[in-house]
A = this chain, B = another copy of it.
Amino acid sequence: MASPLMKILTISGSLKATSFNTGLLRTLAHMAPEGVTVVEASIADIPMFNEDLEVAGLPASVATLKQQIAEADGVIISTPEYNFSYPGVLKNAIDWASRGPVRPFADKPVATISVSPGNFGGIRAQTDLRRLMHSIGAHVLPKPEIAIPQAKLKFDDDRRLTDEATRAMITTLIEKFSAFIRVHNSQASE
């Protein structure tokens, strides 16, 4: 019997057109094995969180994001590092998604990655991101922990990940995360 399809949602913490983080997630989407569908979320249209807006009616971009998270079997977030932590942009999207009667990140399998042009690969942003995801009850993949430093050497001009050693790490991440999701889903369906 064929395995059921698995749906993974990706979220990039950067809005820049030539973002390494976005490029990484697109590369990852192409590397996914048969049976794993990867969908790219967009947080570009999510407004600054304001409870008055929320009361007036959830913005469509937020409703879409929450729906996408709810429908996914797992979420992979890739973050740049600004001022030694995650971008405000990414925190803002997660702040929106973590509120209200429907909280799709609760108990949701989540994997994190970080990419930076510097030497430390955004590891501090990723550490803060994991703390944030734990705080809203996500089920965070502990290992591998992939932080990609010196991005300029590892991506081509179209922001495709070309570095073989890093590609092998991403392959491992996809395998481990898929297994993590399968265990999670089998438990949830008992």
Contact = CB atoms under 8 A, between A and B. Distances in A.
Interface of A: 14-17, 44, 46, 48-52, 82-95, 98, 119-121, 123-124, 127-128, 130-132, 134-137, 140, 142-143, 147, 149, 183, 187
Given A88-B95, A130-B134, 17 more contacts: A15-B48, A46-B48, A48-B48, A48-B88, A83-B95, A84-B132, A84-B135, A85-B135, A87-B95, A88-B88, A88-B90, A88-B94, A119-B149, A123-B123, A123-B124, A130-B131, A134-B140
Contacts of A16: 50-52
Contacts of A130: 131, 134
Contacts of A89: 48-50, 88, 92, 95
A49 B134 contact: no
A21 to B, nearest CB: 12
Nearest to A84: B135
B83 A93 contact: no
B83 A98 contact: yes
A16 B99 CA distance: 15
Contacts of A132: 83-85
A69 to B, nearest CB: 15
Contacts of A95: 82-83, 87-89
27 contacts: A15-B48, A15-B51, A16-B51, A17-B52, A44-B48, A82-B98, A83-B132, A83-B136, A84-B127, A84-B131, A84-B132, A84-B135, A85-B128, A86-B91, A88-B89, A88-B93, A88-B95, A89-B92, A119-B121, A120-B147, A124-B127, A130-B131, A130-B134, A134-B142, A137-B142, A183-B187, A187-B187
A171 to B, nearest CB: 19
